[in-house]
Amino acid sequence: MANEVTVTASISVDESSIVQAISEAGVTFDLANTAVTKYVDGVQDIATTETAIDMGDVASPGWFFAKNLDATNFIELFAATVETAFAKLLPGEFIMGKLSAVAPTAKADTAACALRWFLYEA
């Protein structure tokens, strides 16, 4: 199949009073007959001041994946500068979803962190 993205996600909590799990495996989304020709894939150093996420040539963001590669510090993600963070990634944590921000930024906690980043143009 062409012009599709397939996503798999699951989460479970097993904590004294809460035992809950949910998962979606191999869910496929149509890319509206648009061939993905632009994407960003790599690792970016994030400073302790707001750092623009490298969007490369991507002007219309689609699905993204971001992971904090640092062993100690967290990274906050913002839709744009001077906004409230929409995500806080502790060491080793990641987030995935469809990004609507066209100028996202990130900020490391107390020392620069590496952020693994993938995003394609929708």
**CA–CA separation, 38 and 24 (whole Å):** 27
**CA–CA separation, 80 and 86 (whole Å):** 10
Q: Does residue 2 lie within any of the structural domains?
A: no
Single-letter amino acid code for the residue at 39: Y
Q: Which domain holds residue 56?
A: 34-121
Can you read off the two tokens belonging to residue 18?
């809460």
Tell me what pLDDT residue 105 has: 94
Can you read off the two tokens belonging to residue 107?
């900020």
Work out the mean pLDDT of the chain and round it to a whole number: 89
Q: Does residue 115 lie within any of the structural domains?
A: yes
Q: Does residue 112 lie within any of the structural domains?
A: yes
Overall pTM surpassing 0.75 (yes/no)? yes
Do 79 and 38 meet the contact criterion of CB atoms below 8 Å apart? no
Tokens 């007959």: give the residue. Answer: 33
Q: What is the pLDDT of residues 54-111, one digit of tens each?
A: 998 888 888 899 999 999 999 999 998 878 999 999 999 999 998 888 889 999 999 9
Q: Does residue 21 lie within any of the structural domains?
A: no
pLDDT band at 112; cut points 50, 70, 90: very high
